[in-house]
Amino acid sequence: MLLGLLNFVLAFFKTMFSLDAHENYGKAADNGRPGAPARPAGGARPGSTAPRGINNVHTLFGSSGASGDHGNVHSINSSRSWQTKVNEAKTARKVIVVDFTASWCGPCKLMAPVFAELSRKFGQLVFVKVDVDEVQEVAAQYGVRAMPTFLFIKDGQEIDKVVGADKNDLERKCSRYATSR
């Protein structure tokens, strides 16, 4: 019992504090325990790709970003709202910065306040957040396999990408596309 609890705690901290991209999206997961048999992607709730147990931990400790401030970030909750935002950006001739995220992704939570701050700093860009478990079609359309993934989209086409919680690279690319027209 104690060993099982220790393995869960270690897996939790590894998940929450790893700055590498979560690359188990859409793949077999290890149930959050080293040496555990693989299971199909799917997690504690239907449609989730989280390792089992992680959703319960978020319920206990909270799942919102540190500041709770979302800046100028628009949440996309359907393929239809995605297409509307893409069309608006095309008409305005603006670049969209997309944060592909998941509620169970530790590095995504660390990047949420950074993304919100960048949305305030670079108002020339359109910042949107897509939860890959809620809007799977959009994530699949762009081949997203790791979280966080940040895509830069112009006229509906991907023009650049940042995979992982790389604040400096994300800010550098936001600056580049905010000044280009």
User: What pLDDT does residue 1 have?
Assistant: 53
CATH number of 73-179: 3.40.30.10
Q: Which ranges in 71-157 belong to alpha helices (H)?
A: 79-92, 106-121, 136-141
The 10s digit of each residue's pLDDT in 41-86 is: 434 444 544 443 333 333 223 333 333 456 789 999 999 999 999 9
Q: Which residue did the predictor score with more confidence, 71 or 120?
A: 120
User: What is residue 180's predicted lDDT score, i.e. its pLDDT?
Assistant: 79
Active site residues: 105, 108
What residue spans in the chain does CATH classification 3.40.30.10 cover?
Answer: 73-179
pTM: 0.64
Bridge partners (DSSP) listed for residue 75 = 129
Helix or strand (DSSP H, E) at 17 = helix 2-17
